[in-house]
Amino acid sequence: MENIIFHIDVNSAFLSWEAVYRLAHKGGSLDLRDVPSAVGGDITLRHGIILAKSIPAKDCGVKTGQTIAEAKKQCPNLMLVPPNYGLYEECSAAFMDILREYSDIVEQFSIDEAFVDMSASCHLFGTPEGTAREIKDRIRDELGFTVNIGVSDIKMLAKMASDFRKPDLVHTLYLREIRQKMWPLPVSEMFFVGRATAKKLFSMGIRTIGELAQSDPAWLKAVLQKQGEVIWGFANGVDLSPVLAQPLPNKGYGNSTTAPFDVTDTETANRILLALSETVGNRLRSDSVKIQVVSVGIRYYDLSYFSHQRVLDAPTDLTLEIYSAARGLFLELWDSRRIRHLGVHTSRAKKDDPGRQMSLFDEIDYEKLAIMDRTVDAIRDRFGIDSVKRTVFLNQPVDHMSGGISKATGLPWEKRTVDYDRVTVL
Q: Indicate the residue type of 143.
A: L
Q: Indicate the residue type of 354.
A: P
335 contacts: CB under 8 Å, gap ≥ 6: none
Q: Indicate the residue type of 39.
A: V
Alpha-carbon 258 to chain mean position: 16
Would you say 272 and 258 are in contact if contact means Cβ atoms under 8 Å apart?
A: no
Residue 310's Cβ-count burial label (10 Å; 0-12, 13-18, 19+) is middle
Bridging pattern class, strands 50-53 and 106-110: unpaired
Would you say 32 and 49 are in contact if contact means Cβ atoms under 8 Å apart?
A: no
Q: Which of 70, 90, 101, 113 is catalytic?
A: 113
Per-residue buried b or exposed e for 88-101, using 16+ beta carbons within 10 Å of the residue's own CB: bbebbeebeebbee
Q: 167 preceded by cis ω (within 30°)?
A: yes
Would you say 328 and 313 are in contact if contact means Cβ atoms under 8 Å apart?
A: no
Q: Which residues pair with 49 in a beta bridge?
A: 67
Q: DSSP letters along 192-208, please?
A: T--HHHHHHHHHTT--B
Task: Indicate if 113 belongs to the active site.
Answer: yes
Q: DSSP letters along 260-304, please?
A: EEEE-SHHHHHHHHHHHHHHHHHHHHHTT-BEEEEEEEEEETT--
Bridging pattern class, strands 37-40 and 79-81: parallel
Q: Indicate the residue type of 228.
A: G
Q: Give dist(CA 31, CA 87) in Å, integer.
A: 17
Q: Give dist(CA 239, CA 290) in Å, integer.
A: 32
30 contacts: CB under 8 Å, gap ≥ 6: 22, 426
Active-site positions read 113
